[in-house]
């Protein structure tokens, strides 16, 4: 009996071993097959991108030519603008920065990619960058890919940023600037116990968010009053981080389909919380009507549609969904950009005391009292405007690019023939710091914008387009430039 049991057990083990060997053998074969297939695909991919692709002749690092991974890593590290600058300094005015992407840095490239194109269709926004949607629809002016839809919304929003509206809002802006100066003097003057070192970048964030909150929602965030950022504003920075993650993932078809899984949950929650709070603030402002000189009154000039999903085609008024989405966009674009410009401007002035004194002398000779310093008056000061231009060059609010997609039939950018389906763009920081565009590109010298210094007679000043150009240029350009002129004019140290 025992012998029989052992015999059965032995046969069972032998059968199990045989099955296991077959499974392992088949698994090994599958592994070999998949590895071979992957290797074959990789070789074909390399051969195509380096030897067959219509971009094969464009200069650039070989690794970037075969994969979008290096560029994506630079974006996530926040160093893409530095890397793109180094590539242009090495390879010239056009660089291949991806398997299907080219970067340019010349004035003509800005015009060809973003400018008005009489008789030719505008280049399309690259959907890989603008595909993410917070409220289920692409309703903000920055999110529309379709040019006609963008034109319609731009027309409706233009009232909010007209010269007339900006003049009406100037008293609001001046009141916040006065409060900023008061708060800084309270914290930095007086007895020794009250003196403190202040992070001016934070204070510029305080004032720009307070102003934007007042003009967009009819309620300030009280950042200047409380000397700290409102908790809601921290959600904005989380949103910007989330948008960066989404932008990189959109470069890869597989990752694009897995966004819901790969985007960190805390970022997704912060982004949605920020959108929902913005929508609630916008709704509260809508209830107050139009009897106030702010963005919302101008937006509501022609009325409001309660269509919560999407606008009705060609409807001459904005939907509630569009107002919600634009509230998010304008809050970010109208505050962080101005704060960045102010921070860069004051930083470079402090690093260049001679320039600071030249600016102070101009301001003091133009104004006898601080209350006379307004954006309307400051716009006439040549040296102040040169300081702001130079600050925009060295420290642009947008340092990266705005990708466009070449349409069917191809196009010509800066004299280079570019086939259809290729992404093209100019990188702001890389263009403004390029040795090919500016003499002494890393030095803060406002005189280059006055035309009085022969060292800069060959500077390509028309390459400076911090608000882009053409039919999709920044609608709030004058608004952003209104912020710095008044506070910078008042930031002049007394003897």
The CA distance from 252 to 259, in Å, is: 11
Is the residue at 102 inside a domain? no
271 and 376 inside one domain: yes
Is residue 144 located within the same domain as residue 19?
no
- pLDDT range class, residue 83, cuts 50, 70, 90: very high
pLDDT, position 275: 85
The verdict on residue 395 lying in a domain is yes
Q: How many whole angstroms separate alpha carbon 80 and alpha carbon 399?
A: 9
CATH code where residue 119 lies: 1.10.630.10
Which is more confidently placed, 164 or 87? Answer: 87
The per-residue pLDDT for range 116-128, each reduced to its tens digit, is 988 888 898 888 7
Residues 179 and 33 in one domain: no
Is there a single domain that holds both residue 133 and residue 270?
yes
The answer on 382 and 311 residing in a single domain is: yes
For the residues 318-327, what does the mean pLDDT come to? Answer: 84
For 112, phi then psi, to 5°, come to -65, -35
CA atoms within a 13 Å half-sphere pointing along the CA-CB vector of 150:
16
- How many domains does the structure of the chain reveal? 2
Q: Is residue 72 part of a domain?
A: no
Average pLDDT for 438-461:
96
If asked whether residues 205 and 328 sit together in one domain, one would say yes
Average pLDDT over the chain, rounded to an integer:
83
Distances (CA, A) of 182 to 172, 397, 398: 16, 26, 30
Per-residue pLDDT, averaged over 152-167, amounts to 84
**Cα(371)–Cα(478) distance, rounded to whole angstroms?**
21
In this prediction, residue 466 has a pLDDT band, given cuts at 50, 70 and 90, of very high
Q: Higher pLDDT residue, 93 or 48? A: 93
Same domain flag for 339 and 276: yes
State the residue range of the domain holding 252. 107-490
Supply angle C-alpha 160, 163, 165, rounded to 5: 45
Residue 26 lies in a domain: yes
Quote the pLDDT of residue 408. Answer: 93
- Among 161, 183, 163, CA closest to 490: 183
5 confidence band (pLDDT: 50, 70, 90):
very low
Instruction: Say if residues 259 and 249 touch (Cβ distance below 8 Å).
Output: yes
8 A C-beta contact, residue 377 and residue 247: no
Residue 100 lies in a domain: no
DSSP helix/strand/coil, 96? strand
The per-residue pLDDT for 333 is 85
Section 38-60 average pLDDT: 82
Instruction: Confirm whether residue 474 is marked as ligand binding.
Output: yes
d(CA 298, CA 313): 21
345 shares a domain with 254 = yes
Both 166 and 18 in one domain: the answer is no
Residue 377 has pLDDT above 70, yes or no: yes
Which residues in 105-167 belong to E strands, given as ranges? Answer: 124-125
pLDDT of 136 reads: 47
pLDDT value at 25 more than 70: no
Q: Nearest 10 degrees: CA dihedral of 95, 400, 132, 216?
A: -160
Res 402: pLDDT: 92
* Among 52, 77, 93, residue at a domain's last position: 52
Q: Which of 330, 336, 405, 360 is nearest to 114 (CA)?
A: 405
User: Which of 32, 52, 72 is a domain's end point?
Assistant: 52
Is the predicted pLDDT of residue 33 greater than 90, yes or no?
A: no
Which of 138-152, 293-307, 376-390 has the largest mean confidence?
376-390
> What's phi and psi for 412, nearest 5 deg?
-120, 125
Task: Specify if 92 maps to a domain.
Answer: no
Same domain for 146 and 211, yes or no, is yes
Could you tell me the maximum CA-CA distance found in the chain, to the nearest angstrom? 117
Using CA atoms, how far apart are residues 175 and 216, in angstroms rounded to an integer? 16
Asked whether residue 45 carries a pLDDT value surpassing 90, the answer given is no
What is the mean predicted confidence (pLDDT) over 129-140?
A: 58
295 vs 135: which has the higher pLDDT: 295
pLDDT the model gives residue 335? 86
Report yes or no on 390 lying in a domain.
yes
Q: Enumerate the β-bridge partners of residue 413.
A: 416
pLDDT value of position 51: 84
Contacts of 120 by beta carbon, 8 Å cutoff, 6+ apart: none
Q: Is residue 315 part of a domain?
A: yes
- pLDDT class for 454, splitting at 50, 70, 90? very high
* 312, 399: one domain: yes
Encoded tokens for 273: 């919380």
Mean pLDDT, residues 184-192: 73
Judged by average pLDDT, the poorest of 12-16, 147-151, 415-419 is 12-16
CB 206 within 8 A of CB 225: no
Average pLDDT in the 322-338 region? Answer: 86
What is the C-alpha to C-alpha distance for residues 281 and 269, in angstroms, rounded to an integer? 18
Say if residue 231 is in the same domain as residue 340.
yes
The residue from 30, 52, 74 where one domain ends is: 52
Q: Please, what's the b/e burial string for 394-409 (b: 16 or more CB within 10 A of its CB; e: otherwise)?
A: bbbbbbbbbbbbbeee
């Amino acid at each position: 009996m025992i012998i029989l049991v052992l015999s059965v057990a032995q046969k069972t083990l032998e059968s199990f071993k045989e099955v296991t060997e077959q499974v392992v053998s088949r698994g090994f074969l599958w592994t070999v097959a998949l590895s071979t297939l992957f290797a074959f695909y990789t070789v074909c991919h390399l051969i195509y991108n380096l030897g067959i692709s219509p971009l094969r002749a464009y200069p650039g690092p070989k690794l970037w030519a075969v994969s979008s991974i290096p560029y994506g890593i630079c974006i996530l590290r926040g160093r893409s603008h530095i890397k793109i600058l180094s590539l242009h300094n090495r390879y010239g005015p056009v660089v291949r920065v991806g398997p299907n992407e080219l970067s340019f840095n010349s004035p003509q490239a800005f015009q060809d990619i973003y400018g008005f194109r009489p008789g030719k269709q505008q280049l399309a926004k690259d959907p890989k960058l603008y595909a993410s949607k917070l409220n289920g629809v692409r309703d903000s002016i920055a999110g529309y890919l379709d040019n006609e839809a963008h034109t319609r919304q731009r027309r409706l929003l233009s009232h909010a940023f007209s010269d007339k509206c900006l003049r009406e809002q100037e008293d609001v802006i001046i009141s916040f600037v006065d409060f900023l100066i008061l708060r800084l003097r309270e914290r930095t003057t007086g007895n020794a116990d009250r003196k403190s070192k202040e992070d001016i970048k934070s204070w510029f964030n305080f004032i720009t968010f307070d102003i934007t909150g007042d003009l967009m929602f009819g309620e300030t965030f009280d950042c200047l009053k409380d000397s700290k950022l409102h908790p809601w504003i921290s959600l904005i920075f989380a949103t910007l981080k989330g948008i960066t993650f989404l932008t990189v993932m959109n470069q890869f078809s597989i990752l694009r389909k897995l966004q819901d899984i790969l985007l960190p949950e805390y970022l997704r929650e912060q982004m949605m919380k920020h959108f929902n709070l913005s929508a609630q603030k916008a709704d509260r402002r809508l209830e107050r009507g139009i009897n106030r000189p702010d963005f919302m009154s101008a937006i509501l000039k022609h009325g409001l549609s309660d269509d919560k999903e999407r606008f009705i085609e060609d409807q001459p008024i904005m939907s509630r969904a569009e107002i919600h989405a634009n509230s998010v966009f304008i809050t970010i674009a109208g505050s962080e950009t101005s704060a960045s410009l102010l921070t860069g401007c004051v930083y470079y002035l402090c690093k260049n005391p001679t320039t600071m004194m030249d600016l102070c002398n101009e301001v003091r000779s133009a104004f006898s009292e601080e209350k006379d310093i307004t954006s309307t008056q400051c716009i006439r000061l040549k040296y102040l405007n040169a300081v702001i231009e130079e600050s925009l060059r060295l420290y642009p609010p947008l340092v990266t690019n705005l990708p466009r997609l070449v349409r069917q039939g191809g196009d010509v950018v800066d004299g280079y023939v570019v086939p259809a389906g290729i992404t093209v763009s100019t990188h702001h920081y890389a263009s403004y710091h390029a040795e090919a565009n500016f003499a002494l590109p890393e030095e803060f010298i406002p005189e280059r914008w006055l035309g009085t210094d022969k060292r800069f007679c060959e500077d390509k000043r028309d390459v400076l387009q911090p608000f882009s150009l053409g039919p999709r240029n920044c609608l709030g350009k004058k608004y952003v430039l209104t912020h710095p002129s008044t506070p910078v004019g008042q930031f002049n140290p007394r003897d």
